[in-house]
Structure 1
Amino acid sequence: MLGRKGDTCVLIKSKDDESAFLKELELRAAGTGPSAKQAASELRIRKAGLKGEAESAYLIDFHFERSPNWAVIHDLRLEHRGRTAQIDHLLINRWLDIYVLESKHFNAGLKITQDGEFLRWDDYRKTYTGMASPLEQNERHIAVLRDVTQTLEWPQRLGLRIAPTFHSLILIAPTARIDRAKRFDSSRVIKADQLKKQIDKSFETENAFLGLLKTTAKLVSGETVEFVARRLIALHRPLVRGQQSEPVAAAVTPSGKVRIEPTIAPPPLPSPPPLPPRLPSQATPPAPTIAATSAPTEQATAPACKTCSAKAGEILYGKFGYYFKCDACAGNTTIRFNCHPGHKPRLRKDGSAFYRECADCGSSALYHRNRT
């Protein structure tokens, strides 16, 4: 269990798998016309972003993955009251310090002006071009995360919630050049390989009295850190691209670390009696095993509008894949499929007919038929 003395287990959620989405972009980019150029541009930007996130994730894992005092979460997407936070990396320690880390990849360099404006070097145009401030972007992420934590079961001391402390850091590739303005505080923009030193420095410079107060008033067990991290991961909502919709489920790696990987949610089953909330001191019961079954002639559940629940409409293909266009309210609904854990069902088009198919369990069922 996480947090025991000498134990190196730590809770990790790795980045969601985007290989299917990248493959789709590659296929679209190989075509012709404006859509192919747009796909090629999106593919190039996405690959650069993934490269930066992967580099940062490696350095984060190197220093914190095996620490019993930290929980590491990669690629956490939260939705709360109409707002969204796409957090690249999250670190939580036993003092409930929460580090929200945003990775940025720059091929040539970054410039920060006296007014806090961020500029990136455009090697093609040979000039700096404007970009959104990653500091402001991260502050928005923290605002959503702070509101989300208020809704969760949270560690308490003497009947009061232990307030978390949020820290914002922007991680830049170690090889990138950063031109900083003297009058603007850009200390939260750091090279990714300086992260551990930056965090250690914040502990070293803390007032001794405040540090002692913080230790006695806020220090929680490693089990509690895991408890908090699991509650956040349970709220992860992956960005749906096409038919990709992957809630998360826990798995244990051979090394003993608890790893949270994306899986497909199981099909609807009769609801068992609700269990009481798991406290930090309680172990997580093993997930029940559901045997995969084949249903090649089963009629799949028809699509329904998320706004008005109407079932009359057409399946169309858009920027992010197939979606259901409602005849009643003209609303768009993303197509999502459930199957057994680890399975990846897909939508197959055959003329005006659309089939829900899963190669993992050998199932194929008519999902919808457009008007001919």
Structure 2
Amino acid sequence: MILKDKTLQKVTSPMAKAGQKQEQDVAFFLRRAFKDHPNVFVINDFKFTHNNETAQIDHLIIYTYGFILVESKSITGEVKVNEVGEWSRSLGNKWSGMSSPIKQVELQQKLLREMLLENKADILGKVFGIQTGFGGRSWDNLCAVSSNAIIHRETIPKGVSRQLVKTEFLVEKLHKIMRLSLDMIKKVNLFDTRAYFNNEELESVTSFLMAQLKPEILESDKTENITSPATQNISEIKTDSLLECKACGEKSDYSPQYGKYGYFIKCNKCDTNTSMKIPCLSCNSKSTKVSKKNTTYTLSCTDCTSANVLIS
């Protein structure tokens, strides 16, 4: 399931354009592979702040057994890594050093783990009075480079080589790391001894992470408009005229949240969860989609292309 798509920025330099194109390519393969998978969640452009430090993870994958961080890197020439982990790349006929994307993603992982551990009580709670945590879950990092890059694997340290993958082989590599059985839609493989998240824990982890998303910069001269024509003319409608608790009918005293099945409201009076995905207000079609930008939730219809603000 894709929790957050890649956000396109208006960039001008050739290097920035190439970097964004590489992230788009990786996001495309992840979407094709996991958009309908109930046990794999993908957050593209996961930017968060913890302990006064900010990190941006190109692609964060949360699945039954843990987490995988993927760093996208546009490299169209050759790439080498020496025995101490120092990277170099070719630009035309010249070689130059470059920062290690593996070290970069390791720092991002460290901050993410610290944030999750500090909030484990709120995220995972207790089971039979025992404080649960994130112990035993898998943590993996990968660097996805451009498909036309030339990788000198014969001289790259084995540990780095295992983390370095061309974009078209990324999904295959992810399947080998995750090792999800075919029957995992209904249950966990009883013969797998890895620590795992159950469905409720996965929902709690992903909801917590989505709540940490740092607001995007929305200045018109910095962000490319990638919305459909329908969402450019959004009808402002009061929240209480659109959403209400399915149990008690409450129309205002609720909080928006995200879970395994998408965006929903949690009633503060009766604790009932109600999906934000409602039929289109214009044509009554059920082919609708809820999206979030900062604190605004929008309902868009794919049939009549209308859009309405649910919460702002």
**TM-score exceeds 0.5:** yes
131, 153, 171: which one pairs with 1:160?
131
Return the offset for 1:341: 5.6
| Code of the aligned partner of 2:147 | P
For each residue in 1:48-100, what CA deviation from the matched residue of structure 2 results, as whole angstroms up to 9, or x when unmatched?
Answer: 111100111111122222211111111110111221111111111122x1101
C-alpha distance in 1 between matches for 2:211 and 2:101? 26
TM superposition score normalised by structure 1: 0.54
Please say if residues 6 and 23 of structure 2, whose CA atoms lie closer than 8 Å, have aligned partners that are also in contact: no
| Code of the aligned partner of 2:132 | R
C-alpha distance in 1 between matches for 2:222 and 2:214? 8
152, 156, 165: which one pairs with 1:190?
165
93, 106, 110: which one pairs with 1:143?
110
1:235-246 pair list within 5 angstroms: 235-240=212-217, 242=219
C-alpha distance in 2 between matches for 1:154 and 1:340? 24
For each residue in 1:117-175, what CA deviation from the matched residue of structure 2 results, as whole angstroms up to 9, or x when unmatched?
Answer: 1111111xx12111111011001111121122232632354433241432111111222
The aligned counterpart of 2:25 is 55
Q: Does 1:234 align with 2:240?
A: no
179, 196, 221: which one pairs with 2:152?
179
The aligned counterpart of 1:201 is 176
1:13-162 pair list within 5 angstroms: 13-18=4-9, 21-22=10-11, 25=12, 43-95=13-65, 97-123=66-92, 126-150=93-117, 151=119, 153-156=122-125, 157-158=127-128, 159-162=130-133
C-alpha distance in 2 between matches for 1:59 and 1:340? 28
C-alpha distance in 2 between matches for 1:13 and 1:148? 20
The aligned counterpart of 1:292 is none
C-alpha distance in 1 between matches for 2:296 and 2:156? 56
Distance 1:242 1:99, change over 3 A: same
C-alpha distance in 2 between matches for 1:197 and 1:278? 29
| Code of the aligned partner of 2:89 | R
Unaligned runs of 5+ in 1: 1-9, 26-42, 247-260, 289-337, 343-359, 361-372
C-alpha distance in 2 between matches for 1:190 and 1:59? 13
| Code of the aligned partner of 1:49 | G
The aligned counterpart of 1:317 is none
* Residue correspondences, number: 239
C-alpha distance in 2 between matches for 1:141 and 1:171? 16
The aligned counterpart of 1:330 is none
| Code of the aligned partner of 1:13 | K
The aligned counterpart of 2:291 is none
Q: Percentage identity across aligned positions?
A: 24
Q: Point out the structure with max Rg over C-alpha.
A: 1
TM superposition score normalised by structure 2: 0.63
Distance 1:89 1:47, change over 3 A: same
C-alpha distance in 2 between matches for 1:169 and 1:284? 37
C-alpha distance in 2 between matches for 1:118 and 1:166? 23
The aligned counterpart of 1:310 is none
The aligned counterpart of 1:212 is 192
C-alpha distance in 2 between matches for 1:203 and 1:13? 20
Return the offset for 1:236: 1.0
Please say if residues 154 and 161 of structure 1, whose CA atoms lie closer than 8 Å, have aligned partners that are also in contact: no
| Code of the aligned partner of 1:165 | S
Give SS of 1:213's match: coil
Q: CA RMSD in A?
A: 4.0
Please say if residues 81 and 157 of structure 2, whose CA atoms lie closer than 8 Å, have aligned partners that are also in contact: no
Please say if residues 94 and 220 of structure 1, whose CA atoms lie closer than 8 Å, have aligned partners that are also in contact: yes
